[in-house]
Amino acid sequence: MTQIHPDLEHFNPVTVIGAGTIGLSWATLFLAHGLTVRIYDPRPDLKEVADHHFDSIGSTLTLLNLPSSGFESRLSLESDLQQAVTGAAVIQENGPEKLVLKQTLFADIEKYIEPHTLLLSSSSTIPASDISASMKDKSRMLIGHPFNPPLVMPLVEVVPGKSTSKEAIEDALVFYKALGKAPQHIQKEVFGFVANRLQFAMLREAMYLVDEGVVAMEDVDEIVKDSIGLRWAAAGPMLGMHLGGGQGGMESFMRHLGPTMEKSWAVQGNLILDEETISRLAAKSRDSYGYATIDELAHTRDQKQMAILNLRS
């Protein structure tokens, strides 16, 4: 039987709302740490989707040194929201990234739960103050935003809303730490939080350069893996910049390369994702990555990411 971390005992059972990419990955992490998990999703093919996921995730769990069997007795699939959330200690929501849907979902969930239930949303961009707008008690609701896939990636951005209590923030940090994650308490609510704002700034330029024919899509991957990605995995962007300034550090870097950076910011692309742009970039992605299935590509990515994580630790 899988041992539960003592800090996780009062966070059991967990309900995972939404059985897409993120929900199923969280569910796997929770199960592998011995928690009892209910997955709720209104999709009619919930069982097929869950079976496909759990049949293919074993090798990633093994790479993570986590148990990969014995989940069945602690896992249930639910198509009824009330049944799914009643008695849950934690709810991790992973429905579509739509404000009104999330607002309605949390207002509905509130009808069936105990006041102490910890309410977490995986939202990539929408602040907790907006998602909890229709709730009566907003004190236990906050963002627990993972990086895909949450089973593998350490970061979880813990972003409280204006009405989130200190206890709920502390509980979220304890919960994610006990699951082996690296939660970061983000101090102020902004759309997109931190990791995605940084990521999207860079993706905007990468997509623009590919669309303009400056560089092939798969070559962007190589360029980043061999330079920025490697440096940032070791030092992060800000320390990287500080070190780029030599003995004068960050100040020297800004005085020396500041004007060049400003010129570069001024010429950066501002792609509009209209239908034609999406079609052009999608066609390029099929040319670049069509040699393998998404499952195969994701498996290779997980293996490499685990190797890097193991080296780091």
Ligand X SMILES: NC(=O)c1ccc[n+]([C@@H]2O[C@H](COP(=O)([O-])OP(=O)(O)OC[C@H]3O[C@@H](n4cnc5c(N)ncnc54)[C@H](O)[C@@H]3O)[C@@H](O)[C@H]2O)c1
Chain residues binding ligand X by CB under 6 A are 17-23, 41-43, 94-97, 101, 105, 122-124, 145-146, 148
Q: Which helix (H) or strand (E) holds 194?
A: none
List strand residue ranges (DSSP E) for the chain, in order.
14-17, 37-40, 75-78, 90-93, 118-121, 141-146, 155-160, 182-185
Q: Which is nearer to ligand X, 26 or 253 (CB)?
A: 26
Q: For residue 18, give both structure tokens.
A: 């939404």
Residue nearest to ligand X according to CB distances in the complex? 20
Q: Which is nearer to ligand X, 10 or 185 (CB)?
A: 185
CA distance 100 to 106: 10
DSSP-derived letter for residue 10 is G
CB of 99 to ligand X, least distance (A): 10
Dump the DSSP string for 35-103: --EEEE---TTHHHHHHHHHHH-HHHHHHTT---S--GGGEEEES-HHHHHTT-SEEEE---S-HHHHH
- Crossing angle of helices 217-225 and 275-289, rounded to 10°: 70
Residue number, 12 or 103, with CB nearest to ligand X: 103
d(CA 23, CA 41): 10
Shortest Cβ 263–ligand X spacing (Å): 32
Q: Please, what is the minimum distance in Å from the beta carbon of residue 98 to ligand X?
A: 8
Q: Which of 16/210 has CB closer to ligand X?
A: 16
Q: CB nearer to ligand X: give 105 or 119.
A: 105
Give the residue with the Cβ less far from ligand X, 202 or 261: 202
Q: Which is nearer to ligand X, 202 or 234 (CB)?
A: 202
Q: How far is the CB of 159 from ligand X (least distance, A)?
A: 12
In the complex, the smallest distance separating the C-beta of residue 307 from ligand X, rounded to whole angstroms, is 21
Q: Distance between alpha carbon 109 and the CA centroid of its chain, in Å? A: 22
**Shortest distance (Å) from residue 4 CB to ligand X:** 25
Cβ 153 vs Cβ 146: under 8 Å: yes
- In angstroms, give the least distance from the CB of 109 to ligand X: 10
Nearer to ligand X, 48 or 212 (CB): 48
Q: List the structure tokens of 103.
A: 């607002």
16, 94 contact by CB (below 8 A) = yes
* Greatest CA separation for the chain: 61
Coil, strand or helix: which one is 212? coil
Q: How far is the CB of 179 from ligand X (least distance, A)?
A: 16
